Structure 1
Amino acid sequence: MPKKTLWIALLVLLPLVLAGGLYFLTQETYQPYGTRLLNPRPVDTLDFTLTAHDGSRKSLRDFEGKVVLIFFGFVNCPDVCPTTLLELSKVYKALTPAEQQRVQVLLITVDPERDTLQKLASYVTFFDKSFIGLTGSPEEIAAVAKKYGVFYQKSGVKSPTEYNVDHTATVFALDPKGSLRLIYGSGRAAETERVVRDVRWLLRG
């Protein structure tokens, strides 16, 4: 190959090589704010089918192609649940409209006896109209909670309708393939900018 042609080829290829290397380094060296699972849980081990607040049946696979943020809570929760949903709404609103189309926040109730579809609808859409509340039979909820390692139980029971529910206050972040990649402990989602960076990292993946 003539020397001139070789130099032209190098000049053409060099930006592509550098861009590819930069992308690789960005993907490999990024340190998420959320706790990163060394062995991401695949969608097969996490999938579920529950009833959305609009009455439709939803499974995890329905959100393929989106980053899904899941939180287990309940409508009558006095503090942790509304705080966490507010934190997630700030994260969602900090994204661009195009990014928002690829992100879904889900609240799975741990109080299916009291959280009717109407109550769930009013509750989750207060934080953002795109948020979805999910419920099911007590058995269905227990099965889903087990998959995610979520603990919950009634406490301070005064009557069949007056009680609190102690529960795991973790946010689960799943990538567009449905794999569980990151988790955020109670209060961690309050770092809006850092969680937004994590979400964008998951979207790129």
Structure 2
Amino acid sequence: MPRRVIWITLIAGLPLLLAIAAFFLSRDTYQPYGTRLLNIRPVEANQFTLTAHDGSSKSLTDFQGKVVLIFFGFVNCPDVCPTTLLELSKVYKALTPAEQAQVQVLLISVDPERDTLEKLRDYVTFFSPSFLGLTGSPEQIAEVAKKYGVFYQKSAIKSPTEYNVDHTATVFALDPKGQLRLVYGNGKAAETERVVRDVRWLLR
């Protein structure tokens, strides 16, 4: 093959080679602590509209541009809920003020019959004034929980107002584009520094 043809071939293929090199150099090699979804690409989180503890209507799209950490729980929870919210408050406090402004923690009540707006407000703001409690009708909560694969049911029922609620204890992490990226099983949020690194990765 003539030398000139070889040079022309190399020059013509240069943009492709540069594009391939840029792709491999730009790939994010970070390995998150939270569990990635099995999907190859991030998926848009399931949308919902519920009532916040301040009485306003909140949709997931209202938090676009922020990392959103979602946990399903209830005010009278004896152990898992307060522990998880305490863990998330430690993560939140470990962030800089600028980062905190880009992070929202949501508690979605799985006990809408007892969790009034006032109770939700007092509960979630005890852990952080920035945390939001969300509730709705039993039908609305059931629909949102189903979308996220969250199980819950009443147990140890003593009366219509005295019972426990067994529920999935998972924290869902959404990126600023509203894509569901990571999940944390029960107790995993206790690793504050590792979750903080995940949050910063999602903010990038």
TM-score range, shorter chain: 0.7 to 0.9
Distance 2:172 2:44 in 1: 13
Residue matched to 1:24: 26
Would you identify which runs of 4 or more consecutive aligned residues in structure 1 move more than 6 Å?
A: 20-23
1:47 aligned partner = 47
- Work out whether 1:150 is the aligned partner of 2:145: no
Rate the CA distance shift 1:154–1:126 in 2: closer, same or farther, 3 A. same
**DSSP 3-state at the match of 1:38:** coil
1:194 Cα deviation after fit: 0.1
> Which letter maps to 1:42?
E
Q: How does 1:193-204 map to 2 (within 5 A)?
A: 193-204=193-204
Q: 1:37: Cα distance to partner?
A: 1.2
Q: Give the unaligned 5+ runs of structure 2.
A: 1-21
- Aligned equivalents of 2:179 and 2:160: distance in 1? 37
SS at match of 2:37: strand
Matches within 5 A, 1:45-194: 46-194=46-194
Structure 1 counterpart SS, 2:38: strand
Q: Deviations over 1:51-106 (max 9, x none)?
A: 00000000000000000000000000000000000000000000000000000000
Structure 2 CA distance for partners of 1:176 and 1:164, relative to 1, 3 Å: same
Give the CA deviation at 1:162.
Answer: 0.2
Q: TM-score, normalised by structure 2?
A: 0.86
Post-superposition shift, 1:24?
2.0
Distance 1:94 1:47, change over 3 A: same
Give 1:3's aligned residue: none
Are 1:38 and 2:47 an aligned pair?
no
- 1-side partners of 2:23 and 2:163: how far apart? 56
Aligned to 2:19: none
| CA 21–99 in structure 1, closer or farther in 2 if over 3 Å, else same | farther
Aligned residues: 181
Distance in 2 (CA, whole Å) between partners of 1:160 and 1:178 is: 37
Residue identity in the other structure for 2:196: V
Tell me, in whole angstroms, the C-alpha distance in 1 between the residues paired with 2:101 and 2:38. Answer: 28
1:114-136 Cα deviation digits (max 9, x unpaired): 00000000000000000000000
* Percent identity (aligned): 82
Q: Secondary structure at the match of 1:33?
A: coil
Q: Normalising by the residue count of structure 1, what TM-score does the alignment of the two structures yield? A: 0.86
Closer, same or farther in 2 for the Cα pair 1:137/1:24, shift >3 Å?
Answer: same
**Larger CA Rg, structure 1 vs 2:** 2
Gaps of 5+ in 1: 1-19
The aligned amino acid for 1:64 is: Q
Following the alignment from structure 1 to structure 2, what is the Cα–Cα distance between the partners of residues 21 and 133?
41
- In structure 2, the residue corresponding to 1:122 is in which secondary structure? helix
